[in-house]
Structure 1
């Protein structure tokens, strides 16, 4: 009974969810100590504690010995939790191995449109993950793992379901075109450059103050020969009019 799929679980891609993992690996998981001791009676809530304790991702190593990552993945397939729960797993940024487990489950069970829509934002997660396989331990990053889920046929020793091409989904399903972070960065640089050019253009334009000169010392050359109102010289008391006076003519 412990190895049976949940009664209310629905088929995925036309088959039992547990059968998404090959029979040989599945039987190895059933026989492993971790499955018998740690995965018994787990629920969608209690599985979080086990996922947080994980230190590696991967499928099998050595003589087909399954890693806890594979055991918990099979348990998720057995339980088939609601989509909202998987979304909560993916949003738990502080638990990277829980996010990796949920991403793997989504890749196996969700439709192609949903896979691209859900997993592509995780390509901006650059945290390190420890991967274990037959050749030992390796360091990879979350974005590398997500990229493999979107592009490779086999990940963690599991053959992934066929994924519809992205360009087809854009035409048929209306999937938005993917925007690379590099393209967004180039657009911001172009926008910043145009703002800088505009500021330089404004700073070089003539200002009213520069045209008027030193307004405090400006003396109007009016025909009357006297300064215009409010525009007298600093030495207003010593100002002498240059216009001819009646006395001089006489």
Structure 2
């Protein structure tokens, strides 16, 4: 009874959910000690604690021994939790192995459109994952693991159910085009450059639209300057005349101080006159 699927479980891809795991691997899981000791009475809530204890992903290792990761996957197929619970598993960013477990379960049980919509956002997660296989331990990343789920036929030693390609779903209109982070980054750069050019254009336009003195104002200013110059020129002859007048008055004062003669040629009475007797001394 411990290895049977819960009552009321829906068939997936036309068969029992546990049959998605190959018979050989499934029988080895049933015979493993981890399945018998830790996976007997797990539920959708208690399986989280076991998933947090997982240290690596993988299918079988060593002498065809199943990993704890694939044992928990088979338990999920057996109890078949609701979609909302699985989506919450997938959104648990802190627990990367729980996210990887939910991604593998969604790939094996959900429809193609839902698989692409739920798993493609995980391509942005670049955290490391330890992987254990027949060759030993290796290192992978969450985005590589998700890409393998979407493109490969076998992951963790399990044959994945067939799924329609994304190109066919896009042609049928079931799903939109895939969004690339590189294209988004380039679009953001283009938007920033366009915004910068628009700002520079607006600044140049604002500078060009700044108020400048009109022709009438400039003409008025030139006229006022010419009139002021004319006034200064007109006032200068008067000033010259006043200066010449002051100079002539100063000269007249100087002449008045010098000994003056009468119009008839006689000297002023202040000087001595020579008598005619003295002039005739030679006779």
Tell me the TM-score range normalised by the shorter chain: 0.7 to 0.9
Partner of 1:6: 6
In structure 1, distance between residues paired with 2:168 and 2:36: 43
Partner of 2:126: 126
Q: Deviation of residue 210 (structure 1)?
A: 9.8
Partner of 1:34: 34
Partner of 2:153: 153
Partner of 2:229: 242
Q: Deviation of residue 161 (structure 1)?
A: 0.3
Matched, 1:54 2:41: no
In structure 2, distance between residues paired with 1:173 and 1:161: 22
For the residue of structure 2 that corresponds to 1:115, the secondary structure is helix
Q: For structure 1, which runs of at least 5 residues remain unmatched after alignment?
A: 213-217, 228-240
Q: Deviation of residue 165 (structure 1)?
A: 1.0
In structure 2, distance between residues paired with 1:190 and 1:31: 59
Cα deviations by residue, 1:109-133 (Å, 9 ceiling, x for unpaired) = 0011111111111111111000000
Q: For structure 2, which runs of at least 5 residues remain unmatched after alignment?
A: 239-283
**1:36-185 → structure 2 map (5 Å cutoff):** 36-185=36-185
Q: Deviation of residue 202 (structure 1)?
A: 4.3
In structure 2, distance between residues paired with 1:189 and 1:107: 35
In structure 2, distance between residues paired with 1:58 and 1:95: 17
Partner of 1:233: none
Q: Which has the higher helix share?
A: 2
Partner of 1:215: none
Pair member with larger Rg? 2
Cα deviations by residue, 1:139-197 (Å, 9 ceiling, x for unpaired) = 10000000000000000000000010111111225201101101101111111222233
For the residue of structure 2 that corresponds to 1:6, the secondary structure is coil
TM-score normalized by the length of structure 1: 0.85
Q: Deviation of residue 204 (structure 1)?
A: 5.0
Assess, with a 3 A threshold, how the Cα gap between structure 1 residues 247 and 26 changes in structure 2: closer, same or farther: closer
The number of residue pairs the alignment matches comes to 232
| Residues 113 and 173 in structure 1, CA contact (< 8 A), matched pair in contact too | no
Assess, with a 3 A threshold, how the Cα gap between structure 1 residues 173 and 17 changes in structure 2: closer, same or farther: farther
Q: Deviation of residue 66 (structure 1)?
A: 0.4
In structure 1, distance between residues paired with 2:189 and 2:225: 58
| Residues 54 and 97 in structure 1, CA contact (< 8 A), matched pair in contact too | yes
In structure 2, distance between residues paired with 1:190 and 1:208: 28
In structure 2, distance between residues paired with 1:37 and 1:4: 16
CA RMSD of aligned residues (A): 2.4
Assess, with a 3 A threshold, how the Cα gap between structure 1 residues 96 and 165 changes in structure 2: closer, same or farther: same
For the residue of structure 2 that corresponds to 1:137, the secondary structure is strand
For the residue of structure 2 that corresponds to 1:92, the secondary structure is coil
In structure 2, distance between residues paired with 1:83 and 1:191: 38
Cα deviations by residue, 1:202-226 (Å, 9 ceiling, x for unpaired) = 45554567967xxxxx9x7252449
In structure 1, distance between residues paired with 2:188 and 2:18: 46
